[in-house]
Structures are given as structure tokens and as C-alpha cells.
């Protein structure tokens, strides 16, 4: 078997593996959504990774073109920076979400504390009122 054909075949095998892994990952995310362990909004962010992984892996021509643009001789190797980039973006997205949730939690906790304090003050005033009415009667 000529070298180029050999490399091409093994390259394809890696791409088939990537498609398989992407499909498994996709199924896993769908299962998490079905079990209500992952909300649709977050699932969508995670689904971007396997969908793009499958897209790039199933279109060798597109991958070859992108590899030429990136200056990478072996096209399937392009999957590494693509996957790394996607995970980085998704992680960043979740960091932003976590930051927002933290701010909302702080606000909520402060509101709860202030409302509790108002209830406490009202109950104190009420008990004082009751005591004074009892002593009058």
C-alpha cells in the first residue's frame, strides 16, 4: 500500500472514531436532558461540541481545506485545536453563567435577609403591642 494511501486510510479511521465519539457524546447529553439533570439552555451549549465534531469529521474535504489554511499537513490533526477551541469557548460560556448566577444569588440572599429582618421587627412590635394591651386590661 502506498504511503499516502496508508496515511489517508488511517486518517479516515480517526475521523470515524471522532464521529462515533461525537454521536455518543450527543446521546449522553440528550439522556441528561431527558433525566432533567441538564437544562435545555446548557445542553445546547454542550451540543455544539459533538455537532461540530461530527460535521468536521464527516466532511474530509472541508477538513483538508481548513488544514491547508491553518498550515497543518495532516488534516485529522486539525481536530485537536478545533476540539480544544470549542471546549475553551464552552467553558468560558459557563464561567459567565456562573458569574451571573453568583451575582443573582448574592442579591437574593440580601433581599431574603432584609425581609427576614422586617418580619422580625414587625413581630417584635406586635408582641410589644400585645404586652401593653394585656397590662392595660
Residues in contact with another protein by CB under 8 A are 105-106, 109-110, 112-114, 116-117
Q: Which residues contact 82 (CB under 8 A, 6 or more apart)?
A: 52, 53, 56
∠ CA 78-83-28, rounded to 5°: 135
Q: How far is the CB of 96 from another protein (least distance, A)?
A: 15
Of 39 and 121, which has the nearer Cβ to another protein? 121
Q: How many helices (H) and strands (E) does the chain have?
A: 4, 0
Q: How far is the CB of 89 from another protein (least distance, A)?
A: 21
Round to whole Å and give the CA distance between 42 and 97: 10
Q: What's the Cα-to-Cα distance from 110 to each of 29, 73, 124, rounded to whole Å? A: 35, 57, 21
Q: How far is the CB of 39 from another protein (least distance, A)?
A: 22
Of 17 and 109, which has the nearer Cβ to another protein? 109
Of 70 and 98, which has the nearer Cβ to another protein? 98
Q: How far is the CB of 106 from another protein (least distance, A)?
A: 5
Of 35 and 118, which has the nearer Cβ to another protein? 118
Amino acid at each position: 500500500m502506498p504511503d499516502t494511501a496508508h496515511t489517508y486510510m488511517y486518517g479516515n479511521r480517526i475521523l470515524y472514531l471522532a464521529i462515533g465519539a461525537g454521536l455518543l457524546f450527543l446521546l449522553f447529553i440528550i439522556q441528561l436532558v431527558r433525566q432533567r439533570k441538564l437544562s435545555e439552555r446548557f445542553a445546547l451549549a454542550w451540543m455544539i461540541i459533538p455537532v461540530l465534531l461530527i460535521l468536521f469529521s464527516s466532511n474530509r474535504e472541508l477538513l483538508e481545506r481548513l488544514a491547508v489554511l491553518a498550515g497543518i499537513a495532516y488534516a485529522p490533526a486539525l481536530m485537536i485545536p478545533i476540539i480544544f477551541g470549542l471546549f475553551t469557548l464552552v467553558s468560558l460560556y459557563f464561567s459567565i453563567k456562573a458569574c451571573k448566577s453568583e451575582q443573582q444569588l448574592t442579591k437574593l440572599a440580601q433581599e431574603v435577609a432584609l425581609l427576614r429582618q422586617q418580619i422580625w421587627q414587625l413581630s417584635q412590635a406586635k408582641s410589644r403591642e400585645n404586652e401593653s394591651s394585656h397590662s392595660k386590661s
